[in-house]
């Protein structure tokens, strides 16, 4: 039986930490769907289309990785595409409480969908999209923390604002 896991997130923007999780999951699962979630509680810097484009560009060499987008409940989305599990990355102990709460709610909503956690590589433990955006806004050196394509998108976005 083929196993399909879904990695949902805002990915505003995708970082090398996200990609570390995706690449490692691609070595474990038959299919990894990286799906941009339209979170009504966040105001993204990049549009949904831009985030999907950045992810597609960043994962194009991974044959068993697909990129998608959705809104609504993650469990309903996963069921609609025939997914088996939710992939979540953990950077530090501080992530665990929120992720545990989310995983518990998802299990309540659909007991057949598991949540799988992967620890990020320690070199990315401090990394988040929010930290990247703030550093990029103030012209910080983020070249080694995001794919080159994303780096240029951020530079262009914040040069326009500044």
The annotation places the binding site for substrate at 10, 42, 74, 88
Q: What is the dihedral of CA 129, 135, 136, 137, to 10 degrees?
A: 110
Per-residue model confidence (pLDDT) at position 96: 87
Confidence of residue 42 (pLDDT cuts 50, 70, 90): confident
Within a 10 A sphere around the Cβ of 62, how many other Cβ atoms? 16
Residues 6+ positions from 8 with CB-CB distance below 8 Å: 35, 36, 37, 70, 74, 77, 86
Q: Residue 115 and residue 107: Cα distance in Å, rounded?
A: 8
The annotation places the binding site at 10-11, 18, 42, 74, 88-91, 99, 124-130
Task: Indicate the CATH number for domain 4-125.
Answer: 3.40.50.620
Return the residue matching tokens 């949904």: 48
Per-residue model confidence (pLDDT) at position 1: 56
Residue 13, preceding peptide bond in cis (omega within 30° of 0):
yes
Per-residue model confidence (pLDDT) at position 158: 85
For 72-87, letters b (16+ CB in 10 Å) and e give eebbebbeeeebbbbb
In this prediction, what percent of the chain has a pLDDT beyond 90? 81
How does pLDDT run across 90-143, given as a tens digit for each residue?
Answer: 987 778 888 999 999 999 999 999 999 999 999 998 899 999 999 999 999 999
Mean pLDDT of 67-71: 96
pTM for the model: 0.93
Mean pLDDT of 73-96: 92
Is the pLDDT at 47 greater than 80? The verdict is yes
Per-residue model confidence (pLDDT) at position 162: 57
Is the pLDDT at 161 greater than 80? The verdict is no
Contact 14, 146 (CB under 8 A): yes
Active site residues: 18, 42, 91, 129
Output the six-digit token pair for 19: 């990609």
Mean pLDDT of 24-48: 93
Instruction: Please give the distance of CA 97 from its chain centroid, rounded to a whole number.
Output: 18
Return the DSSP state at 121. Answer: P
């Amino acid at each position: 039986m083929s196993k399909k896991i879904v990695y949902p997130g805002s990915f505003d923007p995708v970082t090398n930490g996200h990609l570390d999780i995706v690449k490692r999951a691609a070595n474990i699962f038959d299919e990894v769907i990286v799906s941009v979630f339209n979170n009504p509680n966040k105001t993204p810097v990049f549009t949904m289309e831009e985030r999907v484009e950045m992810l597609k560009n960043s994962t194009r060499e991974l044959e068993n990785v697909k990129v998608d987008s959705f809104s609504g409940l993650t469990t309903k989305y996963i069921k609609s595409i025939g997914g088996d599990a939710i992939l979540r990355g953990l950077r530090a102990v501080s992530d665990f409480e929120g992720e545990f709460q989310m995983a518990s709610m998802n299990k309540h909503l659909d007991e057949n969908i598991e949540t799988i956690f992967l620890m990020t590589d320690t070199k990315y433990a401090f990394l988040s999209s929010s930290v990247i955006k703030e550093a990029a806004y103030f012209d910080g050196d983020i070249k080694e923390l995001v794919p080159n394509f994303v780096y240029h998108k951020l530079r262009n976005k914040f040069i326009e604002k500044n």
